[in-house]
Amino acid sequence: MSTGIAYDCDVLVVGGGIVGLSTAYAITRSAPGTRVVVLEKEAGPARHQTGRNSGVIHSGIYYRPGSLKAQYAARGAAEMVKFCAEYGIAHAVTGKLIVATERSELPRLHGLVQRGRENGIPVRELGAAQIAEYEPEVEGLAAIHVGTTGVCDFVGVARQLAEASGAEIRYGAEVRRIDRRPELGVAVLTDAGDVVRARVLVNCAGLHCDEVARLTGDEPGMRIVPFRGEYYSLARPELVRGLVYPVPDPAFPFLGVHLTRGIDGGVHIGPNAVPALAREGYDWGTVRPRELAATLAWPGSWQIARRHWRYGTGELRRSVSRRAFTTAVRRLLPAVTADDLVPSAAGVRAQAVLRDGTLVDDFLIREGARAVHVLNAPSPAATASLPIGREVARRALETLRSA
């Protein structure tokens, strides 16, 4: 029976980052003829998490075996290299070192070796003297070399996904209101006053995904608590050949301050992780009272502060003191000085936090009536964007068929 509604598209994707565009790409590839519209509030794609990270193609060594991150990162890394090669997008498979600088880190380093093997990732264990084979200026007690890690231009990937998808991409279209009627579909009002009618909505709004879910009428059971990651560029890039990481603290989803030689030959150092005062708070001067109030009103935010205040204090100190940041870097790269660190663009991580303060550690995808919500997709989401996009597309197309 016809509803008499003139739909603008079958699937409406909110968010033009790499996950949203990969979803659009996967939908049109797996179901040709499906009409897809992508709404992105910025003037171009990948302006936030996608375009403000280290540009690393992660191997998947860090992630719990069986988790979505473990499954998608290892598969996604290989697919990302292939995609970049096919479309001529700048990339390189460089490998990386994970270096233990204290004895207390050695058991965790060995644990990463075991986890890498469980996830099917080749790992080479190195003694202190062997580190110089890869990084002559780096010092540590032991290290592992992960050969499948690389770097690429994720913004270029996002642009290519948008072009290859055949979807209609509408930039400068910020969502203001969503009217969902399970028996009819979804109508979205943009800030320009346009109304887009779709049979199914896919929420890939990143830093604003919980807000979009609530506009749809679905309670996501989490909130995005934004953490800013601050970077420096290395004035003497010749000190670093490739990628160098510390042994991560398993209590946090952050990997610690690391060294990344990008596709442009420059070396980025960072990020740290400090609370952002806005969803898009890329510096201390950007404060949005409504967003900050919403973060403070969420019980999980206070639980994080209570449990991890010592860790947070150290991150804050490195944020306001270049000397403190330099001290952290010197654990891996003793030759670096404060004068070698040149401030660079920061990023903000959209970290999903549960009411009890649990930091959601895996990708989180939930479904509602006529809707699919991607509620946690931080690093390694860019690496894993192609398999994530296929999974979100699968759910969206199932929802479309049932509707």
Q: Clarify whether residues 59 and 178 are in a common domain.
A: yes
Structural domain boundaries, residue 137: 96-147
Q: Judge whether residue 88 has pLDDT over 90.
A: yes
The distance of Cα 346 from the centroid of its chain, to the nearest Å, equals 14
Q: Clarify whether residues 100 and 18 are in a common domain.
A: no
Please give the pLDDT value at position 253: 59
What is the number of domains present in the chain?
3
pLDDT digits (tens, 9 = 90+) for 186-214: 999 999 999 999 999 999 999 999 999 99
Q: Judge whether residue 81 has pLDDT over 90.
A: yes
Q: Judge whether residue 250 has pLDDT over 90.
A: no
Q: pLDDT over 70 for what percent of the chain? A: 98
Please give the pLDDT value at position 197: 97
What pTM, to 2 d.p., does this model score? 0.94
Q: What is the mean pLDDT of the chain?
A: 95
Q: Judge whether residue 256 has pLDDT over 90.
A: no
Residues 171-184: what's their mean pLDDT?
95
DSSP structure class, residue 359: B
Please give the pLDDT value at position 252: 66
Please give the pLDDT value at position 310: 82
Pairing of strands 9-14, 36-40: parallel
Q: Clarify whether residues 322 and 367 are in a common domain.
A: no
Residues 42-68: what's their mean pLDDT?
93
pLDDT digits (tens, 9 = 90+) for 303-328: 999 988 888 888 899 999 999 999 99
Q: Clarify whether residues 196 and 275 are in a common domain.
A: no
- Of 111, 127, 147, the one marking the end of a domain is 147
Instruction: Tell me the CATH number at 391.
Output: 3.50.50.60
Measured distance CA(277)–CA(293) in Å, rounded: 9
CB 51 within 8 A of CB 18: no
pLDDT digits (tens, 9 = 90+) for 18-33: 999 999 999 999 999 9
Q: Clarify whether residues 158 and 34 are in a common domain.
A: yes
Q: Judge whether residue 223 has pLDDT over 50.
A: yes
Q: Clarify whether residues 53 and 18 are in a common domain.
A: yes
Residue at 104: amino acid letter: S
Q: Clarify whether residues 234 and 345 are in a common domain.
A: yes
For the four alpha carbons of 87, 88, 90 and 93, in that order, the dihedral sign comes to: positive
Tokens 């032991």, residue located: 142
Confidence of residue 251 (pLDDT cuts 50, 70, 90): low
Q: Clarify whether residues 45 and 183 are in a common domain.
A: yes
Q: Strand pairing partners for 102?
A: none
199: helix, strand or coil: strand
Q: Clarify whether residues 308 and 373 are in a common domain.
A: no
Q: Clarify whether residues 86 and 184 are in a common domain.
A: yes
Q: Clarify whether residues 84 and 112 are in a common domain.
A: no
Pairing of strands 274-275, 222-229: antiparallel
Q: What is the DSSP string of 1-27?
A: -------SEEEEEE--SHHHHHHHHHH
Q: What is the DSSP string of 334-346?
A: TT--GGGEEE---
CB 400 within 8 A of CB 199: yes
Q: Clarify whether residues 31 and 86 are in a common domain.
A: yes
Please give the pLDDT value at position 314: 86
